Amino acid sequence: MTNAFTLITGASSGIGEKCAIEHSQNRRIILSGRNYEKLDVVRKKCFNSDNHLIWCIDLANKRMDIFHSLSSFLIEYDIVIESFVHCAGITKILPLRNFTPQYVDQIFNTNIFSALEILRVLLKKDNKGTLANIIFISGLWSIRGDIGNSIYAASKGAINSLVCSLAQELAPKVRVNAILPGAIVTPMTENLLLNSELGQKISKDYPLGLGTIEDIVNYILFLLSDKSRWITGQNIVIDGGRSTK
C-alpha cells in the first residue's frame, strides 16, 4: 500500500535513528520523538527523505495527548501504519528509595504506557487491517537484576508480559516481539562504556564484547521482514552472551 508507513518512536537518536535510516530503503517511515529539529535531521539522512513524515510528541509528559494526536495525524495525512517499532525509552539509575513519583511516571510513560496509547490507535478499525508487525525494545535488566535499575527493569518487564499476551490476542494477522539488548554503545553511553573503569568492568561480563547499535537494528530489520514470518510472542535476548553468566 502506497499510504502504509512504519512508525518508529525514539527516532531522533541511537537505535531508533539507525532503524529509521536503514528501514527507509524499503518502507516509508514516520519518525517520532519530542524534538522536531532532531527528527528532521534524521529524516534528511533517510533514503528518499521527502517520502517520510514526522510525528512530534513528548511521550514522557504528554501521555494523555497521544491517542488524539496520533489519530488526528493519521487522518490529516490519510495514511495507515503497517509496522510499529517502539524504540523510545528512558531510565534513571537510582536506589528505589530515591525515586520520586515524577521519575516513575516519566519512565513508565515513555517505556510502556505511551506504547499502549499508540496501539489503541493502531488497533482501531481504520488501521487494524493494515497492522502486521509490532516490535518493542525491552532490556536485559528486565530479566536480570541490577542495582539502581529497579524502576527501569519493572517498566521493561511489563513490555515482556505484554508481548506474550498481545501475540495471542492479535494472531495470526499481527506478529508481536521484543528485543532485550545488553550493553550497547550509543552516543549517550559511549563515555561510560568506552572511557571509564566501570565500562571496562562491564565489558568483561560480555563474552563477545559490548554491542553496537547495528547489532540491534539488524535484528529489528529481520523481525520486520518476511524472513521472520513464524516468529511471534518472543522476548529475544541479544547481549553478546552476558545472560549466560
The CATH number of whichever domain residue 8 belongs to comes to 3.40.50.720
Amino acid at 33: G
In a domain, 117, yes or no: yes
Q: What is the pLDDT of residues 151-189, one digit of tens each?
A: 999 999 999 999 999 999 999 999 999 999 999 998 878
Instruction: Assess whether pLDDT exceeds 70 at residue 1.
Output: no
**Residue of 1, 6, 14, 58 lying closest to 186 (CA atoms):** 14
In a domain, 193, yes or no: no
Q: What is the pLDDT of residues 53-67, one digit of tens each?
A: 999 999 999 999 999
Q: What is the pLDDT of residues 118-128, one digit of tens each?
A: 999 999 999 98
Cis peptide upstream of residue 95 (ω within 30 degrees of 0): no
Instruction: Assess whether pLDDT exceeds 80 at residue 24.
Output: yes
- Which grid coordinates belong to 102? 515524577
Domain encompassing residue 27: 4-182+212-238
In a domain, 43, yes or no: yes
- How many angstroms separate the Cα of 145 from the Cα of each of 50, 128, 181, 243? 44, 37, 14, 11
In the chain, DSSP assigns E strands to 4-9, 28-33, 53-56, 80-86, 133-137, 175-181, 184-185, 211-212, 234-238
In a domain, 206, yes or no: no
- 36, 152, 206, 219: which one is catalytic? 152
36 catalytic per annotation = no
In eight-state DSSP terms, residue 76 is H
Backbone angles phi, psi at 199, to 5 degrees: -60, -40
In a domain, 244, yes or no: no
Q: What is the pTM of this model?
A: 0.96
Q: What is the pLDDT of residues 192-235, one digit of tens each?
A: 788 888 788 889 999 999 999 999 999 999 999 999 999 999 99
In a domain, 83, yes or no: yes
In a domain, 204, yes or no: no
- Cβ count near 235 (within 10 Å): 19
pLDDT score, position 57 = 98
CA-CA distance, 242 to 193, in Å (whole number)?
Answer: 15
CB 30 within 8 A of CB 226: no
Q: What is the pLDDT of residues 68-118, one digit of tens each?
A: 999 999 999 999 999 999 999 998 888 999 999 999 999 999 999 999 999
In a domain, 132, yes or no: yes
- The overall average pLDDT reported for the chain is 95
Q: Considering its fold, how many domains does the chain have in total?
A: 1
pLDDT confidence band for 30 (50 / 70 / 90): very high
